[in-house]
């Protein structure tokens, strides 16, 4: 481990020696920040702007924070350019910036001063009476809480916190009126040693950041240095095993916690869903009761430390109590992203096993039906070093979906991935943990498992909150869809379409909706029009190939209710679009009506039969249609007779922009024996000429010169395969799923067949199967 001061010196050997506190707090200069979009650097940028400097910054991405800073005066560039160093009198860089950054290289060549973020922050703090909040866990919330209590206590503190803080308005602020400066100390890269505060608040110490530190002893060494450099009082957690040895023997310390021997002690803790009540004693004397407006025993523990610090600074307890009652979480600290009577979505930054345990206990205490968790491991080195601890950290989660590791500039470590953590969770007896390597599918895995009363928790220091935000936005729409279809209808998020296609492939439907009435269907059409949402109608899923990316928008499945009804009136049979064609054939048989026996061999529903003008045994759907009822693109109902309809082979243009709701078919009176004979003929033909395996029916339209199945046979392509997609040995125009095939497998096999047909016969095959969805 290289000390932070040694690293800074190595980057600035030719640079002028600066009186950095004076340079930053008493003079005005041109300063450039490399990596300014990060939460730490953006806070420093805000401080420097308020101190009157001309501040520029660069990063690979722009964010809401860089937009805000630009409104304050930041000159921002999305590229790291050498000329930024030339224009600056001082370059400040974050720990995430590599030494070969073009701005740092140019600064060296020009002999410009370049310092780390923490070095600049420590120098700014020197201008005031500093309070550093340090620890492996909870320091962001606790430093925000400290700044808030001191501000409400009339001390006008400046502050620097590593996250967005709604109650403080910003993550960093310079207040010239006050003498105190509250800062969150970052131990991750050893720069904690750069601070020389008046007071320090030590929350906890344990193994963490093992990409930088060799072991716990190395971490304790850095904290010991901070403690040594604290001029005034060290407030320390008496309940933390690693903190006590460093602080207990030092003069001028004050302990806090739940232990009987604590100088400031918390008792009678009552944890509520989103708040906590407790009493605080100072040296055995009761100060009073506190209502903390954030949940979790760990937050109560840290709040006792804040009470201790604020009391010692002379703030009256009644002001402290009022401040804590009003305190609000920092962003990404048990932050509610969506709340309704049905569902609750919460995001938290927890990424260390200790933090995860504490956050899950807090989530469990909310009292919801289940806790579903999406977790993104942070850093390969942490995942490798703490994989055993991660295994037992999720005991309070009912279901866990783990995605791949957020690298945070680390190179991958062979054999280390999200699966590493899932394996450890399974070893500890958890039966509902799964690995999702595709980050963009995590919200789908959790969303499809949602049940009324669930709490969804996203955990991680990377960008897992983005997946929760997607789920939250989709839940808003799902609740609106639910209101349209009513209690009898069904709305599900991210329904796997492989469950609803005869091929058994296909990604998720963003919104899967099952209306039960024509009125609900019309309402869905109007809603999608008004909200600019794509709408796709799906019946029984035959003659359909859905790509692996699924279908965006609303997938309407008219199923049950009015859509499954079949009514016989004389020689006419009226069926809803959700009724199976096979059921229509047997309803006709029950009424001694013939001519529809060909429908027995088609696996789809009436809606799909109409849309594709499906056929079998030499017959086609519209040869039997008398009239159809449909909804137009505005949701208005219409009826059209057969002679008003334009129909083609395997195509019915009217339903390309409109939506069928029922059809009336004409049959002919017939003897039951003759009907049964034709049904058996259909069954026998299907049994002998079509595969039993999962398929979508015929894949290609028949060319004029030769049936597609015969062409595939003559080309020698039967039994050819891609992955688990295979051309049937029974019928060349069928592709079957041998189990576990993907849509990508199917599509590649289709392209292979088309390519061979083109090359060897000059025939351009057209697909009959409808191909939809995103890759």
Residues in the chain: 775
Please name the fold of domain 335-473. 3.90.190
Q: Which two tokens stand for residue 181?
A: 């400066």
- Look at residue 429 and tell me whether its pLDDT is greater than 90: no
Q: Give the active site residue among 25, 66, 140, 383.
A: 140
Euclidean distance between CA atoms 762 and 134, whole angstroms: 74
Per the CB < 8 A criterion, the answer to whether 264 and 238 are in contact is no
Mode of pairing for the β-strands spanning 619-620 and 721-722:
unpaired
Residue keyed to tokens 């010692």: 312
Looking at residue 473, its pLDDT comes to: 93
pLDDT band with cut points at 50, 70 and 90 for residue 14: low
> 184 catalytic, yes or no?
yes
Three-state SS for 116? strand
Query: Environment class of residue 595 by beta-carbon count within 10 Å: exposed (0-12), middle (13-18) or buried (19+)?
Result: buried
> Could you tell me where the DSSP H helices lie in 153-188?
none
> 198 catalytic, yes or no?
no
- Look at residue 283 and tell me whether its pLDDT is greater than 60: yes
Q: Give the active site residue among 128, 139, 337, 580.
A: 139
> 243 catalytic, yes or no?
no
- Look at residue 70 and tell me whether its pLDDT is greater than 70: yes
Pick from 40-44, 471-475, 555-559, 615-619: least confident: 615-619
Looking at residue 296, its pLDDT comes to: 82
Euclidean distance between CA atoms 342 and 714, whole angstroms: 58
565-686 maps to which CATH number? 3.30.465.10
Looking at residue 489, its pLDDT comes to: 92
Render pLDDT for 627-651 as a digit per residue (tens, 0 to 9).
999 999 999 999 999 999 998 887 8
- Dmax over CA atoms of the chain, in Å, equals 106
- Look at residue 148 and tell me whether its pLDDT is greater than 50: yes
Please name the fold of domain 128-326. 3.40.1190
Looking at residue 637, its pLDDT comes to: 95
Q: Partners of 710 in the beta sheet?
A: none
Looking at residue 137, its pLDDT comes to: 85
Euclidean distance between CA atoms 240 and 252, whole angstroms: 18
Top-confidence residue, 40 or 716: 716
Query: Environment class of residue 487 by beta-carbon count within 10 Å: exposed (0-12), middle (13-18) or buried (19+)?
Result: exposed
Top-confidence residue, 544 or 330: 544
> Could you tell me where the DSSP H helices lie in 540-645?
581-590, 606-612
Q: What's the CATH architecture for 693-772?
A: Alpha-Beta Complex (3.90)
Q: Give the active site residue among 50, 152, 164, 184.
A: 184
Top-confidence residue, 192 or 96: 192
Euclidean distance between CA atoms 90 and 652, whole angstroms: 70
Looking at residue 2, its pLDDT comes to: 39
State how far Cα 51 lies from the chain centre.
38
Q: Which DSSP symbol is given to 457?
A: E
User: Directed axis angle between helix 297-312 and helix 353-365, to 10°?
Assistant: 100
Mean pLDDT of the chain: 90
Domain boundaries, the chain: 4-119, 128-326, 335-473, 565-686, 693-772
**Burial per residue of 17-30, b for 16 or more beta-carbon CB atoms within 10 angstroms, e otherwise:** ebebeebbbeeebe
Per the CB < 8 A criterion, the answer to whether 218 and 280 are in contact is no
User: Closest Cα to residue 264, out of 254, 249, 276, 277?
Assistant: 254
Top-confidence residue, 338 or 744: 744
Looking at residue 627, its pLDDT comes to: 95
The domain defined by 4-119 carries CATH number 2.20.25.650: no
Looking at residue 10, its pLDDT comes to: 40
Render pLDDT for 339-379 as a digit per residue (tens, 0 to 9).
888 899 999 888 889 889 888 988 888 888 899 999 999 98
């Amino acid at each position: 481990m290289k000390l932070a001061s040694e690293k800074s010196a190595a980057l600035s050997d030719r640079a002028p020696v600066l009186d950095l506190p004076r340079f930053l707090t008493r003079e005005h200069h041109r300063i450039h920040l490399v990596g300014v979009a990060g939460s730490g650097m953006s806070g420093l940028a805000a401080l420097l702007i308020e101190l009157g400097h001309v501040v520029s910054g660069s990063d690979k991405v722009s964010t809401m924070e860089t937009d805000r800073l630009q409104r304050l005066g930041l000159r921002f560039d999305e590229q790291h350019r050498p000329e930024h160093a030339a224009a600056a009198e001082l370059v400040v860089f974050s720990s995430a910036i590599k030494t070969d950054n073009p701005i740092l290289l140019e600064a060296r060549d020009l002999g410009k001063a370049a310092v780390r973020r923490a070095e600049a922050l420590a120098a700014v703090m020197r201008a005031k009476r500093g309070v550093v909040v340090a620890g492996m866990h909870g320091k962001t919330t606790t430093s925000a809480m400290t700044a808030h209590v001191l501000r409400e206590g009339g001390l006008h503190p400046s502050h620097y916190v590593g996250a967005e803080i709604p109650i403080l308005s910003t993550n960093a602020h310079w207040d010239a009126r006050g003498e105190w400066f509250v800062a969150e100390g970052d131990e991750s890269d050893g720069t904690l040693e750069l601070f020389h505060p008046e007071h320090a608040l030590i929350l906890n110490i344990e193994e963490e950041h093992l990409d930088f530190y060799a072991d716990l002893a190395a971490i304790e060494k850095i904290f010991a240095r901070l403690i040594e450099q604290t001029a005034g009082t060290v407030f320390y957690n008496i309940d933390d095993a690693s903190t006590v040895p460093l602080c207990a023997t030092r003069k001028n310390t004050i302990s806090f916690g739940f232990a009987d021997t604590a100088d400031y002690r918390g008792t009678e803790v009552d944890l509520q869903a989103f708040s906590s009540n407790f009493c605080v004693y100072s040296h055995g004397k009761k100060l009073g009761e506190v209502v903390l407006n954030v949940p979790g025993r760990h937050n109560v523990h840290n709040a006792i430390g804040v009470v201790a610090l604020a009391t010692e600074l002379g703030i009256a307890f009644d002001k402290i109590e009022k401040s804590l009652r009003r305190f609000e979480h920092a962003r990404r600290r048990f932050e509610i992203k969506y709340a309704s009577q049905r569902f609750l979505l919460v995001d938290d930054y927890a990424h260390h096993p200790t933090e995860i345990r504490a956050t899950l206990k807090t989530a469990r205490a909310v009292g919801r039906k289940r806790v579903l968790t999406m977790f993104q491991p942070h850093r390969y080195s942490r995942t490798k070093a703490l994989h055993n601890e991660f295994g037992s950290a999720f005991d309070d989660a009912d279901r866990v979906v783990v995605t791949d590791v957020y690298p945070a500039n680390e190179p991958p470590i062979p054999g280390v991935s999200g699966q590493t953590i899932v394996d450890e969770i399974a070893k500890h007896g958890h039966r509902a943990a799964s690995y999702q390597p595709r980050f963009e599918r995590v919200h789908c895995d959790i969303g499809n498992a949602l049940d009324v009363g669930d709490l969804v928790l996203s955990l991680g220091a990377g960008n897992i909150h983005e997946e929760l935000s997607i789920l939250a936005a989709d839940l808003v729409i799902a609740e609106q869809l639910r209101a349209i279809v009513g209690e009898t209808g069904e709305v599900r998020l991210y329904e796997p379409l492989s469950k609803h296609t005869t091929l058994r492939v296909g990604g998720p439907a963003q919104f899967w909706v099952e209306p039960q009435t024509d009125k609900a269907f019309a309402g869905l059409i109007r809603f999608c029009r008004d909200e600019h949402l794509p709408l796709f109608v799906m019946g029984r899923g035959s003659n359909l190939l859905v790509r692996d990316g699924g279908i965006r928008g609303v997938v309407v499945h008219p199923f049950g209710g009015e859509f499954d009804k079949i009514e016989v009136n004389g020689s006419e049979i009226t069926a809803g679009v959700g009724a199976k064609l096979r059921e229509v054939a047997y309803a006709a048989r029950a009424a001694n009506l013939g001519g529809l026996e060909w429908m027995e061999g088609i696996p789809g529903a009436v809606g799909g039969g109409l849309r594709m003008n499906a056929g079998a045994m030499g017959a086609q759907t519209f040869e039997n249609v008398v009239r159809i009822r449909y909804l137009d693109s505005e949701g208005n109902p219409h009826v059209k007779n057969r002679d008003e309809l334009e129909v083609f082979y395997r195509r019915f243009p009217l339903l390309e922009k409109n939506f069928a709701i029922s059809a009336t078919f004409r049959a002919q009176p017939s003897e039951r024996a003759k009907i049964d004979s034709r049904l058996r003929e259909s069954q026998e033909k299907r049994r002998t000429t079509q595969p039993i395996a999962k398929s979508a029916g015929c894949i290609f339209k028949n060319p004029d010169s030769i049936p597609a199945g015969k062409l595939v046979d003559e080309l020698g392509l039967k039994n050819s395969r891609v992955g688990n997609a295979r051309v049937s040995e029974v019928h060349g125009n069928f592709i079957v799923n041998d189990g576990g095939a993907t849509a990508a497998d199917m599509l590649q096999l289709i392209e292979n067949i088309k390519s061979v047909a083109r090359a060897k016969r000059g025939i351009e095959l057209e697909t009959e199967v409808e191909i939809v969805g995103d890759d």
